[in-house]
Amino acid sequence: MKPIILIAPPAAGKGTEAQILKEKYSLPHLSTGDLLREASLSNEEIASKIGAGHFISDDTVLKLIENRIKSDDCKNGYVLDGFPRNINQASQYDVLLEHKGESIGYVFIIDMDKKLAKKRITGRRICPKCGKTYNINFKEFLPKNNEMCDDCNIKLIKRSDDNISTFDVRYDTYLKYTAPLIDYYKDKGILYHIDGNQGKEYTHKQIERILSEND
């Protein structure tokens, strides 16, 4: 399968949809957030920027992506979650793919109301072992057993940047830098708008229909 890019405002469900696609098609889920958090363990500058909700340099992000997609498990496609985040990253990614002789694939933008996204961000909980995401503010995302992971049976955690003040910074940053990608990929004829306001099942059905029609 061709690579899949998921673009969305904070807490709009990129990670949840990426996990669904990963399990259904056996595709690696490449989250720039996860890659950066891993890198932050040995880089204080990256760690402080993540905590404040600010962007990391494009060169740093691209290098992380470039190294990851060289892995054997990415040969048959992958799901990009949180990359590219601006036009510069997108154009550099185009060059990277061109050198590898690969096409961009699919670009899905998950549209969501800001108030709904903010409600999601404050309720999001993550399993520290498997990375599965839940949300205590929405019935469909609740864990079965009081903030414990359904699969690992360990207590869920709340990310340090999942708070209202950081959300506002991240959302404004998204509008300024990421939203212009809509026209960028629309001009390439590979952009698909997805309604993310109706729940994860409805979101996935829209994406699944597009994938099946273009397979």
- Which residue among 68, 120, 125, 170 is the active-site one? 170
User: How much is the pLDDT for 66?
Assistant: 92
Residue 85 is a catalytic residue: yes
User: How much is the pLDDT for 100?
Assistant: 87
User: How much is the pLDDT for 146?
Assistant: 85
Residue 68 is a catalytic residue: no
Q: What's the predicted TM-score (pTM) here?
A: 0.80
- Which residue among 68, 85, 125, 200 is the active-site one? 85
Distance CA 194, CA 181 (A): 15
| Phi, psi dihedrals of residue 3, rounded to the nearest 5° | -60, 150
User: How much is the pLDDT for 85?
Assistant: 86
Residue 170 is a catalytic residue: yes
**pLDDT tens across the length of the chain (215 residues):** 889 999 999 888 888 899 999 999 999 999 887 888 888 888 888 888 877 777 788 998 999 899 899 999 999 999 998 899 889 999 999 999 999 888 889 999 999 999 999 999 999 999 999 988 899 998 888 999 888 999 999 999 998 888 888 889 888 888 888 888 999 999 999 999 999 999 889 999 999 999 999 86
Q: How many CB atoms lie within 10 A of CB 3?
A: 21
- Which residue among 22, 37, 132, 159 is the active-site one? 159
- Which residue among 14, 68, 120, 125 is the active-site one? 14
| Domain spanning 4-112+166-213: CATH 3.40.50.300 | yes
Residue 141 structure tokens = 């995302």
User: How much is the pLDDT for 23?
Assistant: 93
- Which residue among 68, 124, 125, 200 is the active-site one? 124
Which residues fall within 8 angstroms of residue 155, CB to CB, at 6 or more apart? 147, 148, 149
Q: What is the pLDDT of residues 112-150, one digit of tens each?
A: 999 999 999 999 999 999 988 899 998 888 999 888 999
Distance CA 66, CA 75 (A): 13
What is the residue extent of each domain of the chain? 4-112+166-213
User: How much is the pLDDT for 157?
Assistant: 96
Residue 200 structure tokens = 């994860």
